Structure 1
Amino acid sequence: MGRRGMKSFLKGAHKQHGSDDEAADAAPEQPSTSAPKAPASQSAQPPKAADPQPVKAADAHDADDSDDDEEGGSKGPETRGKMLQRHKREMAAHKKTVQKLGSKKKDEAARLTAEMEARHARELAELEQREQQQQQQAAGGAGGEAAASAAAAGEQLAGLELAAEAGAEHKKPSKAQKRREKLAQQEAERAARIASEQAALGPSDKAVEEAQLRALLRPHGLGIREIRADGHCLYRAIEDQLTQHAQQAPTSSSSSTSVPDYQTLRRLAAAHIRSHADDFLPFVYDEDAAGGPAEQLEEYCEELEGSAVWGGQLELGALAQALRRQIKVYATGMPLVSLGDEHAGAGGAVQLCYLRHAFGLGEHYNSVEPLVGGAEEEEGKEEGER
């Protein structure tokens, strides 16, 4: 072989990862009078010496196949001993590759390791299946049943290998992951237990009260409008009512007035109580508490302005006068509470609903809103919830 022939041969060897069998099939047949070819083992050695690149884990199988071809040539299928030796070489090369990947790519290294182990197991299973088939063929007609069992065993092994490959990424979960899964399972069991206990107890006091309140509001064409429960619910409910009135008013009048927020409403109530101290002192002053009437009234107003303390009928009366609005409060088991009736025709009544069992802490104020589909639709909605 000349220089040019040797260069082209080396170039082909680099591209094909040492596949001598394919090279032999692709080469044209030479006449018997031509010079004999060099053995495959001798021709395959120069590419290995010329290639300084390390063997990657994904190419380890191809590289070791070329080694087997060099050692065994075309003598027949790979024996068990040669296969085990090749597996050992592939695993050694794979360990070097894993070391190069470093600790930051543990998941990728685990995946590659699982793939290689699965492939090795599959090859050994196929080899064992071939050996059993050969033995059965040699034994005679009794080998059909054994071959079928061997094929079934091979399919079972293949299924196990596929399952191992699918679960390679989830292999050996961390302690933190196990802890999270355990906590999630415990929380799900707790939620299911609470739900079953509540179902056994029947409707809660909150559900019963809300159903009764809806029935009370329905003849007035009103429904419950939920308000956040954060200690400011009374003032937020009044703010929501004033916002609804502003949206329903003509554009010219609504644009000239701004709706006070819940903090402003707190300050308005405190200012009205201060300016009408004689009207509110009987409800604020406590003889057993420290300080005189004026001190206790000022302390009450400061707490009203600067904290999330709950409001009640005292604050509702102060806001009815400060806003010059009629305020109505609907509640179950008690008559309608109406404050500031002298302002009934000024801008529409502020309507709230009061619940005793809305939350675990107790009382809560919600706003109301017109029923979109009328009383019939609200009644049908309640029937669906039941």
Structure 2
Amino acid sequence: MEEEEGGGGGSEEAALLGQHRREKKELQAKIQSMKNSVPKNDKKRRKQLNEDVAKLESELEERHKLELLSLSQKQSTDTEEKKAALEKERDERIAEAEIENLSGARHVESQKLSLILSQRQLQIRHIPSDGHCMYRAIEHQLKERNNNVTLTSLRHQTADYMQSHADDFLPFLTNSTTGEMYTQGERDIYVLWFKLQHLES
């Protein structure tokens, strides 16, 4: 249904542009007729004719601009109304989900976990999902224990461990295209890529 409405907006604009083209052609025909009716040697009437032509062209151009602007504003308003309706619907769904979650298993589990953590004077710490979150979480915990290991160091240690225990990781290193396990060369490239990821953050 939204596609039809969106398509309708496009067809409205196309229709308006088509109408504008017709009106320009009609005006040109009218101007030509006006020019033909005034003798070329009648300078006074020719001057007046040129002024009238300029006025007609200017008025038509101005009207076309206003019509396009009006259509654009209408489409913009329609889009904003649709967006507002979608946002309202989304907010309602979120509110419903939050109400359901209060009695859901996940919420109950979260409450239990929070209670256990608070009894141990611990808390859940949010780590941004940036491709390094596992390492950042480990880094954070190690820093809490005065171990200043870095993300880069953790990545290198992990890559070195994976390389020295390749057989343990082979089942998990597969070519996403073929589904086959990595060859030695592919595995080496992966481990190198794995080590260098910190450079892109």
Q: Which has the higher strand share?
A: 1
Instruction: Please state which structure has a larger fraction of its residues in helix.
Output: 2
- Structure number with higher relative contact order (C-alpha < 8 Å, ≥ 6 residues apart): 1
TM range (shorter): 0.3 to 0.5
Give TM-score, length-normalised by structure 2. Answer: 0.46
TM-score for the superposition, normalised by structure 1: 0.27
